Amino acid sequence: MTHAQKLKLISYLKQFISDNRVVRFDEVINNRTNYLQLVLENLYQEHNASAVLRSAESFGLQTVHFIENLNSMRISVDVAMGSSNWLTINRYRNEKANTKNVLLNLKAQGYKIVATTPHTNSFTIDTLPVDTKMALVFGTEIDGISKDVYDVADAFVKIPMYGFTESFNISVCAALCMYELTTRIRKEVPNYLLTDEERTDVYLQWLKTSIKNSDKLLAGINMEEII
C-alpha cells in the first residue's frame, strides 16, 4: 500500500472513532519520536518491562525492541496501563545471535548503540551527546548487558550515584535516562520527530487498535472504493 493509499484509509477509519479521540491522536503524534529507541535485553520481571513501556510511551518514544534470548517479555496490565497499545514493539526470540543481529541492524539504520552500565564510565547520562540517533540498551536485572552488547556498543553511559547502592532498578534507570535524553533532544535536535512515513504507519496502527474488530471491518469493505 502506498503512502497516499494509507492516508486515504486513515481518513476512512477516522469516522469510526470519536472527534475527541482524533484530536488526542493528532496531539500525541505531533510529539512522537524514533530518534531515541530502546533495546531491552532479557528482562525477566514483568513489572520492570511494563514500567519501561509506560515511561517510554509517556516520554513520546515510539519504538521498543525486546530481545528474548533467555526470558520472554510479559506485560503487566496494571503497570503498563495500556501503553503497549500505542508503541511499536519488536520482539526477537528465534535466533541464537539475536542481540548482535538487532544491534547491527540498528547501526545500519544510522543508530548509535549506547549501552547502560554502572561499570563503565564513558559518559554520564547528562554528558552523553545527542547529535545522532540513538538506541539505548538495557540488560537483564541481575547481570546487566551481555558480552554481545559490550562488543557492538559505540558508547557506554551511566547515571551518577552517591550512595552505597551500586545501581538503580532497571525501570527507574530507564525513566531517568529517557527524561534526560528526550529533554535535551527536544531542545537541541531540529528533526527528531517521526518522518511522514512513520507518522502514517503509526497513526494507522493506532486507529486499528482503537476500533473494535478492526480486522473484520477492513476485511468486509471494498478497499478499491477507499483507496
Q: Which of 97, 121, 109, 120 is nearest to 41 (CA)?
A: 97
Domain residues for 43?
32-226
Phi, psi for residue 195 in degrees, rounded to 5: -70, 170
Residue 11 included in any domain = no
Residue 25 included in any domain = no
Q: Kindly report the pTM of this predicted structure.
A: 0.92
Residue 22 included in any domain = no
- The grid cell for 33 is 519520536
| Length of the chain (residues) | 227
Walk along the chain (227 residues) and give the pLDDT tens digit of each residue: 899 989 999 999 999 999 999 999 999 999 999 999 999 998 878 888 899 999 999 999 999 999 988 767 777 666 656 888 999 999 998 777 789 999 999 999 999 999 998 777 789 999 999 999 999 999 887 788 899 999 999 999 999 889 988 888 899 999 999 999 999 999 999 999 999 999 999 999 999 999 988 888 888 777 776 76
Residue 4 included in any domain = no
Residue 59 included in any domain = yes
Identify the H or E element spanning 40. Answer: strand 36-41
The Cα 94–Cα 67 span in angstroms is 10
Residue 12 included in any domain = no
Report how many domains make up the chain: 1
Q: Which of 174, 152, 143, 165 is nearest to 106 (CA)?
A: 152
| Relative orientation angle of helices 196-210 and 3-13, to the nearest 10 degrees | 30
Cβ neighbours, 10 Å, residue 15: 8
- Say which CATH number the domain at 177 has: 3.40.1280.10
Q: Which of 130, 126, 135, 140 is nearest to 177 (CA)?
A: 126
Residue 210 included in any domain = yes
**DSSP letter for each residue of 132-183:** S-EEEEE-BTTTBS-HHHHHH-SEEEE----SS-----HHHHHHHHHHHHHH
Residue 38 included in any domain = yes
